[in-house]
Structure 1
Amino acid sequence: MHSPKTISAIRFLFFPFAFLYGIVIHIRNFLFDKKVLKSNHFSTPTICVGNLSVGGTGKTPMTEMLLSFFEKKYKTATLSRGYKRKTKGFLIANENTTALEIGDEPMQFHQNFPQAIVSVCEDRSFAIQQLEQHPNKPDLIILDDAMQHRKVTADCHILLSDYSNLYVNDFFLPVGSLRDQRSSADRANIIVVTKCPSNLGLGEKKSIEKKIKLLPNQQLFFSSISYGTPYNIFTKEEFNISQNDMVIAIAGIANPQPYFDYVDRLTENTEKVALTDHYEFSEQNIFDLFSKHKKVGKKEDIVYLVTEKDAVKIHSYQQVFINLSARIYVLPINCVILYNESDNFYRKIIAALDNIDN
């Protein structure tokens, strides 16, 4: 663990690079603002979910919350880049699709919302054109992680900022975690402070509101993470973890700390394994990873717990887990809007989608 002085010195050394990166970002945004660089708006209503920083701000739970709400009334599509997929170009998920083809997060959308049209493409503008020409044309498109993709002008921009690292206090990479300038928040219709404590006090809420300084047309919401009951990755059978269970918690996500903190509250006997974000599982590394932890306790006493994002990649390796006699469960996650503001949240979105059928 580096001392505060060491961290300050490292940041000072990287400041010139962050300054140059910031100049490039400002120039790019200026060219889009002045319409030198073209941005396309489409007839199909679009919601953009994004952030200004690298790392986990809760885009996937937010996108799933939107899917859960809107797919009840509208034929809804998601459009993602498909990070770390082994394919290229425009793809729509089907019953035979794997995470290798579309990426882990889109695969999670596909498994949890089989009625949704889950698509991936590096070129968002081209992809929307393809969706609009598709026989199963969607009524609504949710753009996942698209705040920086200014070639598309969405009808509603939802900007997410982590409670523990607000964008207003952050700085450009590599000194901070910003990949876009703070003023890009002005493009948002809605700003959501994510991963808040579920009991966030009104005093702290007001303090954050003052820091963010909303524009007249913007609205600020607060959300927290809610975890469901773990379920077996293969049988879907639910399992309630007790204080006596030995849990090996594995996470290949950007910010695993909230996940690990929650597991610590379930049982006193935990071992945590933090993998890189979008970790690529294989038969060999699964065998190595899970065999390594057998020595922690009796094999039959160990409960392996993974995130939903990792589960979609592990699912195809069922035989490996049978050979290891490993009990592996998934911890589901949900986004919850705080202060009973859910209705206002969705009203604000629908108001921005003036071309959607109400």
Structure 2
Amino acid sequence: MKKLSPILKSLLFPFSLLYGMVVSVRNILFDFNILPITEFKIPIISVGNITVGGTGKTPHIEYLITLLNDDYKIATLSRGYKRKSKGYLLADETSTSNQIGDEPMQIKRKFPDILVSVDNKRVNGVKNLLKSEHGNDLDAVLLDDAFQHRSIKAGLSILLIDYNRPITRDYIMPYGRLRESASEKDRANIIIVSKSPRNMTPIDRRIIVKELDLLPFQSLYFTTLDYGNLEPVFKNDAINIINEDWAKENFSILLVTGIANPKPLKEYLENFSDVVEEVQFSDHYSFQIKDLNLIQSKFEKLEGENKIIVTTEKDATRFFDMEINQESIKEHLFYIPLRIKFLNEDKSKFDVQIMNYVSKNKRSSNLHNIKTDSI
């Protein structure tokens, strides 16, 4: 996101005050049960943020899936941002990113055995999951990007905060980048400071702890980004690249992204290549034929004998659904998976907290009824 000029920010400040008042009134109505909140007798974990832009929600959801999937039957529920369908949908092997959204599609491709669902109305989504043929076996639901969706009560709420964009030093949009006041962090059971530096010092950690001023019941953890090995988008067509050797070959790279902040990935790739050119689209961008022509043109002009096109895993789901006729793109298009890694001793503590919550609240077969039906 580009920085706004001081004059423009000053003009936007009154709109931030107005927007903040509206959001505050809405939260008060939920706090006093004037707006109804639905609770389900099944473990529900919400992962979200209060900042506009990426904080790493999908990699954290994937971490939770990996943690829980061996022992529990789990489902994910999101709104399916920018999908071209409406209402409730349960993903299957024929689903596309246009139908369910790129992030749910990414999860479904990576974890085909779990239930991946989308619905703009989260309460309706959980109801449909429980009424489905898999409902009686379902042990937990992971809500993606649901911190502001207070019509459903999560048993465990996880709030992500970008290390590089502290909410304690930000303002409500459009003057700043907060969806609601930073004080609303007090609703979270767990706060994770994402995108933290790997070499974070104890002093830096203590400063963040002091600024956040957590409540006694809240837990704080720190995670960093961890990039995986190159993966071909089109396995049957891709050139053969050995992950251990590709960096030594000093490939020229065309980085193609449609995410909120591609800067960390570009900086990562610059560690392995002297030439990293970039084609950047807006977040969740729906690639068109003209974009493929642009990418092919840029790739052909890229210097060097060894060269590849690199994209993100989220973008790869949208490329995968396209009919691409340019063989040079299909042969040279790779993505780099993004994972999260907990710092210090945070991993074991976080894992125990999550597993304890699910195991203690795991419903019995006769406890699947909805406690509250109001929406």
Q: TM over 0.5: same fold? A: yes
2:210 maps to a residue whose letter is: K
How many angstroms does 1:273 deviate by?
2.0
Name the residue aligned to 1:166: 166
Provide the secondary structure at the position in 2 that maps to 1:146.
Answer: coil
| 1:84 corresponds to 2:89 | no
Give the root-mean-square deviation of aligned CA atoms.
2.0
CA distance in 1, matches of 2:201, 2:326: 44
* 1:241-256 equivalence runs, <5 A: 241-242=246-247, 244-256=250-262
1:296 maps to a residue whose letter is: L
Provide the secondary structure at the position in 1 that maps to 2:142.
Answer: strand
| TM-score normalised by the chain length of structure 2 | 0.90
Name the residue aligned to 2:183: 183
Provide the secondary structure at the position in 1 that maps to 2:344.
Answer: coil
CA distance in 1, matches of 2:201, 2:329: 46
Name the residue aligned to 1:278: 284
Check 1:267–1:324 CA distance in 2 against 1; reply closer, same or farther (3 A cut): closer
| 1:206 corresponds to 2:206 | yes
How many angstroms does 1:238 deviate by?
5.5
1:224 maps to a residue whose letter is: T
Deviations 1:97-128 (A, max 9, x none): 00000000000000011011000000000110
Provide the secondary structure at the position in 2 that maps to 1:317.
Answer: coil
Deviations 1:205-257 (A, max 9, x none): 11111111110000100000000111111118664332521001111111111
Deviations 1:159-184 (A, max 9, x none): 00000001111110011100122121
Check 1:323–1:337 CA distance in 2 against 1; reply closer, same or farther (3 A cut): closer
- Check conservation: 1:308, 1:332, Cα contact below 8 A: yes
| 1:264 corresponds to 2:270 | yes
Provide the secondary structure at the position in 2 that maps to 1:320.
Answer: coil
How many angstroms does 1:318 deviate by?
5.8
Name the residue aligned to 1:8: 6
Check 1:238–1:355 CA distance in 2 against 1; reply closer, same or farther (3 A cut): farther
CA distance in 1, matches of 2:330, 2:101: 28
Give unpaired runs (5+ residues) of structure 2: 365-375
- Check conservation: 2:48, 2:159, Cα contact below 8 A: yes
The structure 1 segments of at least 4 consecutive aligned residues displaced by more than 6 Å after TM superposition are: none
- Check conservation: 2:83, 2:97, Cα contact below 8 A: yes
Name the residue aligned to 1:288: 294
1:270 maps to a residue whose letter is: V
Name the residue aligned to 2:59: 61
CA distance in 2, matches of 1:88, 1:40: 22
Deviations 1:114-146 (A, max 9, x none): 011000000000110111111112211000000
Name the residue aligned to 2:318: 313
Count of residue pairs brought into register by the alignment: 355
- Check conservation: 1:18, 1:173, Cα contact below 8 A: yes
Name the residue aligned to 1:229: 229
| 1:73 corresponds to 2:36 | no
Deviations 1:253-291 (A, max 9, x none): 111111111111121211122210001012332222222
Check 1:343–1:9 CA distance in 2 against 1; reply closer, same or farther (3 A cut): same
* 1:16-31 equivalence runs, <5 A: 16-31=14-29
Give unpaired runs (5+ residues) of structure 1: none
Provide the secondary structure at the position in 1 that maps to 2:80.
Answer: coil
CA distance in 2, matches of 1:26, 1:209: 25
Provide the secondary structure at the position in 2 that maps to 1:265.
Answer: coil
Name the residue aligned to 2:368: none
CA distance in 1, matches of 2:45, 2:121: 16
Deviations 1:28-62 (A, max 9, x none): 00000000000111012100000011100000110
Provide the secondary structure at the position in 1 that maps to 2:204.
Answer: helix
CA distance in 2, matches of 1:325, 1:253: 21
Deviations 1:300-320 (A, max 9, x none): 632100000000010133642
| 1:341 corresponds to 2:346 | yes
CA distance in 2, matches of 1:15, 1:103: 33
CA distance in 2, matches of 1:16, 1:292: 43
- For CA contacts below 8 A with separation 6 or more, give which structure has more relative contact order: 2
- Check conservation: 1:14, 1:175, Cα contact below 8 A: yes
How many angstroms does 1:151 deviate by?
0.3
Provide the secondary structure at the position in 2 that maps to 1:143.
Answer: strand
CA distance in 2, matches of 1:212, 1:340: 20
- Check conservation: 2:80, 2:119, Cα contact below 8 A: yes
CA distance in 1, matches of 2:292, 2:202: 45
- Check conservation: 1:252, 1:277, Cα contact below 8 A: yes
